[in-house]
């Protein structure tokens, strides 16, 4: 029995796709929310994003804020994340599926992304920065940046240290 030419072409094309190398990269972010010795503790609002060399936002990865406030009142305080708000926040409709969520407790928080899926788009080759900003009611505000090159040819582990509202921030990229 002879295979029709179109079916044979489709089979060859699908086999070629299955053997092609995957171009997606894994990106992991770990950030430490420190325990603060203060009389009135509030969990911080946190924004995590990737910015280009011109400081425009390439991807919003996470925004944690108080979701339980009545009538969306928690969104009113998102502007306290000043850098994120100016660069992207005021243009966005919250909540954002796959990006926004509730504030997180003290401790290490972990985020994982795959390039081209969810909130992490395919990035053009170039220089970028991972930016993490935290702001807390009756507390301070802090911004931590980790520069990186995209794409990566080998696994990289980069980190920066916060001084008050954030502890260690780590960026792990695997090709």
pLDDT at 83: 97
Chain centre distance of CA 169: 12
User: At residue 42, what are phi and psi to the nearest 5 degrees?
Assistant: -125, 140
pLDDT at 13: 40
DSSP strands (E only) in 1-44:
26-33
Residue ranges of domains in the chain, CATH in brackets: 24-174 (2.60.40)
pLDDT at 23: 53
* CA 48/CA 62 separation, integer angstroms: 5
Look up residue 31 and give its DSSP letter.
E
pLDDT at 9: 39
pLDDT at 19: 35
Q: Of 108, 111, 81, which Cα lies nearest the Cα of 168? A: 108
CB atoms within 10 A of CB 49: 24
Q: Percent helix, strand, coil in the chain (nearest 5)?
A: 20, 40, 40
- DSSP secondary structure letters along 40-99: S--PPEEEEEEEETTS-EEEEEEEEE---SGGGGGGGGGGGSHHHHHHTGGGSPSS-TTT
- DSSP secondary structure letters along 156-173: EEEEEE-SSS--EEEEEE
Task: pLDDT tens for the chain, 175 residues: list them.
Answer: 455 554 443 333 434 333 333 456 899 999 999 999 888 889 999 999 999 999 999 999 999 999 876 777 788 889 999 999 999 999 998 889 999 999 999 999 999 999 999 999 999 999 999 999 999 988 899 999 999 999 999 999 999 999 999 999 999 999 9
Predicted TM-score of the model (pTM): 0.84
* CA 113/CA 105 separation, integer angstroms: 21
């Amino acid at each position: 029995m002879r295979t029709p030419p179109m079916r044979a072409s489709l089979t060859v094309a699908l086999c070629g796709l299955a053997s092609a190398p995957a171009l997606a990269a894994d990106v992991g972010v770990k950030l430490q929310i420190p325990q603060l010795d203060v009389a009135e503790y509030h969990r911080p609002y946190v924004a995590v994003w990737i910015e280009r060399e011109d400081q425009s936002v390439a991807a919003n990865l996470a925004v944690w804020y108080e979701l339980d406030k009545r009538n969306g009142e928690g969104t009113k305080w998102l502007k306290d994340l000043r850098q994120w708000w100016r660069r992207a926040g005021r243009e966005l409709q919250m909540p954002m599926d796959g990006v926004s969520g509730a504030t997180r407790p003290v401790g290490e928080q972990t985020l994982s992304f795959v390039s081209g899926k969810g909130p992490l788009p395919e990035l053009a080759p170039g220089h970028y920065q991972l930016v993490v900003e935290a702001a807390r009611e009756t507390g301070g505000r802090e911004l931590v940046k980790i520069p990186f090159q995209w794409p990566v040819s080998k696994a990289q582990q980069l980190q920066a240290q916060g001084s008050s509202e954030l502890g260690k921030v780590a960026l792990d990229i695997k090709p």
